[in-house]
Structure 1
Amino acid sequence: MIAAENISIGRGVTLALRCTMCHGARGMSKANTPNLAGQNPERIHKQLSDFQARHRGSEIMAPHTRSLSDQDMRDLLAYYAYLPRTTPPTLGSN
């Protein structure tokens, strides 16, 4: 992995802190929200862009995406793509 990718992933970790309440600390949700770990970056980018442009409505996602720059999105995508896709946790597990 090149240094630029490591920096992007590192920035993505920090940006993802605002996502943990719904999408889990490592991108695996304990709630009824999408798991982001190991997701296709283009798919996440499309969803974030749609929320940001208000093509897709969500009272929860709109404020989180509104302030994201293009670089922020790329960093989040790099982080979530970097994470291994694992079995989702079961509801009610610790």
Structure 2
Amino acid sequence: MKYRLCRMLAAASLVLAAGAHAQAPSQAANCVTCHGQQGESINPQWPNLAGQHADYLAEQITAFRDGTRENAAMMPFVKNLDEKDIRELADYYASLPRKVSSSGDSDLVERGRNLAGYCAACHGMRGEPVANNWPILAGQQAPYLAQQLRAYKSGKRVHSLMQAALASLSEEEFSALAAYYSQLEP
């Protein structure tokens, strides 16, 4: 009897594990062209969405929709989303497994590891912050990360903590940080 119960529990666990990801909401059909079927970007200039914190994704989609984060390519896809649509998209992409992009220059990884102290207080020792409204950096596309660091430093993206942390860093250091975080395992 115990053996049969264990087999049933094991089978149920496999079924649950196989269906652990949410079903894609209809709005995700607009996202796959750039962010891929499984939330993995087809272009290293664009972010991977899979496994990102849902709260962070929802905040960013809302910022694109409301124009507080400018991106002409995103606007047509987000302008008509309501709060429910945004939450469904964010929850869906957060449910997908993250993968490592390793899209940075491998010669810069060690330098990036040495610079990561600038980021660790907010983004964690391994690129995974404890705050759900902060982005996970581990495994993200390196060119995208470097692009965002430049945007914060230039003031195109605004966040006082990011601007303070990046004030003394150079373009080469951005590339090193991006290379380091892109290769971190989820």
Runs of 4+ in 1 over 3 A off after TM superposition: none
Q: How many aligned positions are there?
A: 82
2:29 to 3, 17, 21: 17
RMSD: 1.8
Provide Cα deviations, 1:41-94, integer angstroms capped at 9, x if missing partner: 11111111111111111111111111111111111011111101112386xxxx
Provide Cα deviations, 1:17-39, integer angstroms capped at 9, x if missing partner: 11111111110012020000000
Q: Using structure 1 for the length normalisation, give the TM-score.
A: 0.77
Identity %: 34
When Rg is computed on C-alpha atoms for both structures, the one with the higher figure is 2
Q: Sort the Cα spacing of 1:89 and 1:25 in 2 relative to 1 into closer, same or farther, 3 A.
A: farther
Q: Using structure 2 for the length normalisation, give the TM-score.
A: 0.41
Secondary structure of 1:15's counterpart equals helix
1:58 is aligned to 71
Gaps of 5+ in 1: 1-5
1:3 is aligned to none
**Paired residues for 1:12-91 under 5 Å:** 12=25, 14-31=26-43, 32-88=45-101
Gaps of 5+ in 2: 1-18, 104-186
